[in-house]
Amino acid sequence: MTPFGERLRELRARHGVTQREMAQAIGVTPAYLSALEHGKRGKPSWTLLQKIMGYFNVIWDDAEALFELAEQSHPRIKIDTGGLSPAAMRLVYKLSENVHRLPAETLAEMEVVLDASIKSARKL
């Protein structure tokens, strides 16, 4: 499940809406909505995002967060490794081969470390 799919499912649960009801209201099939939630479909279009936000009355910061989650929700990610150092290549390879095996706690810890490193690198 993608970050966007997880958030979409949370919104539906909070509002007590089935996939079928939501799909009909925003003009997609229930199968498409299910695939979107489970990460079997790519990032939703801007138009679809607008329909979803309108359906749930999502505004301001919550809308921005939903857009960011959609940007992070490609089911297949391609990484251009051209020009990376050998250490970076090893990390990319290890992560791509093993990320599905890592427990949620480890992933959360890695994300914190990565975010801090990115923030520090931007200051340089």
* pLDDT at site 8: 95
* pLDDT at site 43: 86
Residue found by looking up tokens 């990032």 in the block: 43
The pLDDT tens digits of the residues spanning 56-94 come to 999 999 999 999 999 888 777 788 899 999 999 999 999
Tell me the CA distances in angstroms from 96 to 40, 88, 114, one per residue in order: 18, 12, 16
Give me the mean pLDDT over the 24-44 stretch: 93
Query: In the structure encoding, which two tokens stand for residue 60, read together?
Result: 């301001």
Give me the mean pLDDT over the 10-14 stretch: 95
Query: In the structure encoding, which two tokens stand for residue 65, read together?
Result: 């967060």
Superfamily per CATH, domain 3-71: lambda repressor-like DNA-binding domains (1.10.260.40)
Mean pLDDT, the chain, as a whole number?
92
* pLDDT at site 73: 84
pTM: 0.67
- Residue 63 and residue 53 in contact, taking contact as beta carbons nearer than 8 Å: yes
* pLDDT at site 99: 94
CA distance 6 to 80: 27
Query: In the structure encoding, which two tokens stand for residue 45, read together?
Result: 């279009």
Q: pLDDT tier at 2 (50, 70, 90 boundaries)?
A: confident
Q: pLDDT tier at 49 (50, 70, 90 boundaries)?
A: very high
CA distance 85 to 107: 23
- Three-state SS for 2? coil
The pLDDT tens digits of the residues spanning 89-107 come to 999 999 999 999 999 999 9
Q: Tell which wins on pLDDT, 41 or 17.
A: 17
